């Protein structure tokens, strides 16, 4: 708790820093905006920087969620993104619990998650825990499904979730927000931003692209001012003592079932983001970023025992140095060079043996050094992109209980990618071929076999060439067609290769997953001056993913092992629609239907549905707003999920109704939300119930 208390002190300091600066700032107050969901056809409001994906050119299907969708709310990243078509989130409990994301039926290991260009997926594996990403720092969330733009240093079968943190704005601004909710949920956040820059046009590294390309070499308008800084911090915590139905492990005997509060599920987490930028010249800029995150989390026992003291604590720090140099040479190249260092320490303490089998107390330390270079060349008919990326990651597990240190395992990755967007017929047709080469070298140490005997150290080299092509055709201003095809691979994680001592054995013979994605569809974005119907937005896409050597987990009694199954196929359709009626109402809805098939020859699993994927998901939302008031109601449903490969354990269908109201009064934004109005209980993970009905209230003030 010491680290959390220090963070609370810093947030209060940010609050008091904001007050005197308010009087000195000769600028208008930053407007407070109500939340709104931004769908595929809309562009992000985050200032564009060299290295960002130009969504006007990309042929892939994507969604952009701007900060207004969650500003000031007590929400998690998983709750925000699960409302988009083709996206499914699974959560192991209440707020702050382990959460993973699936795009179009992929596994969580196959989805690459980036934070300001830094990959969060570790070589240790397991997918990215979305609960460890604070929304207070987030400016926008980009979700790329099917194909991965070459801007990103790593691509995989499942697509990309790209999280952009806050970027400096002109002059001075600051804010503070607080919230409270059910199960003793509390939140506090503060923000300070100041810059000497007063922009009269575009500035290096922070541009605003138009719908048509600006040829490289064209001079940006001048700016005055040199520096800017930004500090954002937040605290989030909850007791998570919601009621659950405890069947005492006897599902077929309801006589001993009882309602009781969830025990040992409390968490506290803190987050600080600091940025500093300096304009060395009109087209030359340097940025320094540091983000610190800490989480202290208790883990409930399978039988909800009050004696359980199991903990899983996480500390992470990411430091990035970025140099943006635009309009270089006679051809006017735009470049972005980034160096980053990431460190993460996780400590699992189950000395009472309440969660796993036997007593455990382990520490896992991951460090990564990375370098990324992106070069862009814009002409009247082309947009070239070149990416060079290098990563060096080490992973060191330590058995604290036994006093044993395991040698570091290492993964070195090199990637190079080249992409060209060719423009035809006054930019109505864009064809984008891309080629990516990746080399991976592993030095694996510390593996154990089925009998917990040490395995020999091992080195592995893998290289892959991925090709992709996409097309975007806009025959009319309101109609766009898209189609894409891409080939990807995912190398096995350290967890899959050499297991976890005593509970999961290693398999050094694993092959990388190799897959092909393809999709096609259309978008309609029609604006009207009609007073009744202001806008209609419709998105329809069909998709298919075929994966060979899919990595799956099998169990022999209580011991697990990762194996390659022969192949799998996922097919589906996703649909989204938005209607703006009059100037007071918006109706949003989306649906995803997908069919997954395990095509392995494993007895009992061949031809079955892939586990942990919903077959159907639906979302409907109605918003009404007038003046400073806004009210909304939404319906979310997910159906057809199996917990296991033989499809013997079927999850209950999930249906939720949420509602809320917000009121903007001067510089204050007041928000009240109710989740799961029906108080229904579900389990995304078998044996880990989600909360019932909950309430939250928050207030945000912009200075």
Report the pLDDT value the prediction gives residue 223, as an integer from 0 to 100.
46
| Those residues with Cβ within 8 angstroms of residue 581's Cβ, 6 or more apart along the chain or in another chain | 532, 533, 534, 587
Report the pLDDT value the prediction gives residue 540, as an integer from 0 to 100.
96
- Chain Cα centroid distance, residue 518: 22
**Digit-coded pLDDT (tens) for 199-245:** 444 444 444 444 334 444 444 444 446 899 999 999 999 999 999 98
- List the structure tokens of 293: 């995150």
Report the pLDDT value the prediction gives residue 699, as an integer from 0 to 100.
94
Q: Which helix (H) or strand (E) holds 272?
A: strand 267-281
Report the pLDDT value the prediction gives residue 118, as an integer from 0 to 100.
92
Report the pLDDT value the prediction gives residue 455, as an integer from 0 to 100.
62
Q: Rounded CA gap, 428 and 35, in Å?
A: 32
Report the pLDDT value the prediction gives residue 7, as an integer from 0 to 100.
44
Report the pLDDT value the prediction gives residue 319, as an integer from 0 to 100.
97
Domain boundaries, the chain: 2-702
Report the pLDDT value the prediction gives residue 453, as an integer from 0 to 100.
56
Q: Rounded CA gap, 530 and 538, in Å?
A: 18
Q: Are 112 and 389 in contact (CB under 8 A)?
A: no
Query: HEC string of 27-88?
Result: CCCCCCCCCCCCCCCCCCCCCECCCCCCCCCCCCEEEEEEHHHCCCCCCCHHHHHCCCCCEE
Q: Rounded CA gap, 527 and 529, in Å?
A: 7
Classified as helix, coil or strand, 155 is coil
Report the pLDDT value the prediction gives residue 6, as an integer from 0 to 100.
47
Report the pLDDT value the prediction gives residue 37, as an integer from 0 to 100.
36
Classified as helix, coil or strand, 17 is helix
- Gyration radius from the chain CA atoms: 25
Q: Rounded CA gap, 564 and 547, in Å?
A: 11
Report the pLDDT value the prediction gives residue 559, as an integer from 0 to 100.
61
Strands 409-424 and 429-444 turn out to be antiparallel
User: Can you tell me which residue has the tokens 């769908």?
Assistant: 39
Q: Which of these, 25, 107, 29, 60, lies nearest to 700 by C-alpha position?
A: 29
Q: Are 259 and 245 in contact (CB under 8 A)?
A: yes
Report the pLDDT value the prediction gives residue 419, as an integer from 0 to 100.
96
Q: Which of these, 435, 499, 438, 498, lies nearest to 468 by C-alpha position?
A: 435
**CATH number of the 2-702 domain:** 2.40.170.20
Q: Which of the residues in the chain have pLDDT under 70?
A: 1-45, 197-225, 357, 404-405, 446-456, 499-504, 555-559, 604
């Amino acid at each position: 708790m010491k680290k959390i208390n220090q963070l609370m002190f810093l947030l209060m300091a940010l609050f008091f820093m904001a007050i005197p600066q308010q009087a000195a700032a000769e600028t208008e107050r930053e407007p407070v905006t109500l939340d709104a969901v931004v769908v595929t056809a809309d562009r992000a409001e985050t200032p564009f920087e060299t290295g960002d994906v130009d969504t006007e050119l990309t042929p892939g299907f994507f969604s952009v969620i701007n900060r207004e969708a969650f500003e000031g709310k007590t929400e998690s990243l998983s709750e925000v993104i699960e409302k988009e078509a083709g996206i499914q989130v699974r959560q192991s409990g209440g707020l702050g619990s382990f959460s993973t994301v699936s795009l179009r039926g992929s596994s969580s290991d196959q989805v690459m998650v980036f934070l300001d260009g830094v990959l969060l997926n570790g070589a240790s594996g397991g997918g990215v825990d979305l609960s460890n990403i604070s929304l207070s720092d987030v400016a926008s969330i980009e979700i790329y499904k099917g194909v991965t733009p070459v801007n990103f240093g790593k691509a995989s079968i499942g697509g990309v979730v790209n999280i952009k943190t806050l970027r400096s704005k002109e002059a001075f601004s600051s804010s503070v927000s607080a919230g409270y909710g059910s199960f003793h949920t509390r939140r506090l956040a503060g923000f300070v931003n100041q810059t000497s820059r007063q922009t009269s046009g575009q500035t290096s590294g922070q541009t605003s692209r138009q719908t048509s390309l600006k040829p490289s070499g064209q001079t940006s308008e001048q700016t005055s001012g040199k520096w800017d800084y930004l500090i954002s911090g937040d605290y989030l915590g909850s007791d998570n003592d919601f009621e659950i139905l405890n069947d005492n492990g006897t599902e077929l005997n309801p006589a001993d079932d009882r309602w009781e509060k969830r025990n040992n599920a409390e968490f506290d987490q803190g987050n600080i983001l600091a940025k500093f930028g300096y304009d060395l010249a009109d087209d030359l800029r340097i940025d320094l970023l540091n983000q610190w995150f800490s989480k202290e989390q208790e883990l409930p026992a399978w039988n909800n025992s009050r004696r359980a003291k199991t903990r899983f604590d996480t500390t992470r720090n990411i430091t990035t140095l970025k140099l943006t140099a635009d309009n270089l040479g006679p051809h006017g190249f735009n470049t972005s060079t980034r160096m980053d260092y990431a460190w993460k320490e996780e400590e699992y303490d189950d000395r009472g043996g309440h969660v796993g089998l036997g007593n455990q107390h382990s520490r896992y330390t991951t460090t990564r050094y990375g370098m990324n270079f992106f070069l862009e060349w814009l002409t009247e008919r082309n947009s070239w992109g070149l990416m060079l990326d290098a990563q060096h990651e080490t992973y060191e597990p330590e058995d604290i209980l036994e006093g044993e240190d395991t040698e570091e395992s290492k993964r070195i990755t090199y990637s190079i990618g080249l992409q060209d967007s060719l423009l035809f017929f006054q930019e109505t047709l864009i064809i984008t071929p891309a080629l990516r080469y990746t080399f991976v070298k592993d030095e694996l140490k510390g593996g154990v076999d089925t009998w917990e005997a040490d395995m020999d150290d091992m080195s592995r080299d893998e290289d892959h060439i991925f090709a992709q092509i996409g097309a975007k055709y806009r025959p009319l201003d309101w109609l766009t067609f898209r189609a894409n095809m891409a080939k990807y691979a995912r190398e096995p994680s350290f967890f899959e290769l050499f297991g976890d001592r005593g509970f999961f054995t290693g398999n050094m013979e694993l092959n990388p997953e190799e897959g092909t994605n393809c999709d096609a569809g259309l978008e309609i974005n029609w604006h009207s001056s009609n007073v009744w119907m202001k806008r209609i937005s419709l998105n329809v896409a069909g998709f298919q993913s075929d994966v060979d050597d899919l990595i799956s987990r099998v169990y022999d009694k209580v011991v697990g092992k990762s194996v390659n199954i022969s192949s799998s196929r996922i097919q589906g359709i996703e649909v989204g629609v938005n209607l703006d009626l009059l100037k007071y109402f918006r109706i949003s809805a989306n649906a995803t239907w997908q069919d997954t098939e395990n095509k392995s020859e494993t007895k009992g699993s061949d031809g079955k549905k892939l586990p942990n994927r919903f077959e159907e998901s639906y979302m409907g939302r109605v918003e009404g707003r007038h003046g400073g008031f806004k009210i909304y109601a939404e319906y979310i449903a997910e159906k057809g999920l199996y917990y296991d490969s033989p499809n013997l354990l079927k999850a209950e269908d999930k249906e939720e109704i949420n509602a809320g109201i917000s009121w903007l009064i001067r510089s204050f934004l007041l928000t009240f939300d109710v989740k799961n109005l029906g108080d229904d209980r579900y389990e995304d993970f078998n044996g880990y119930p989600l909360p019932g009905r909950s309430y939250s209230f928050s207030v945000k003030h912009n200075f």
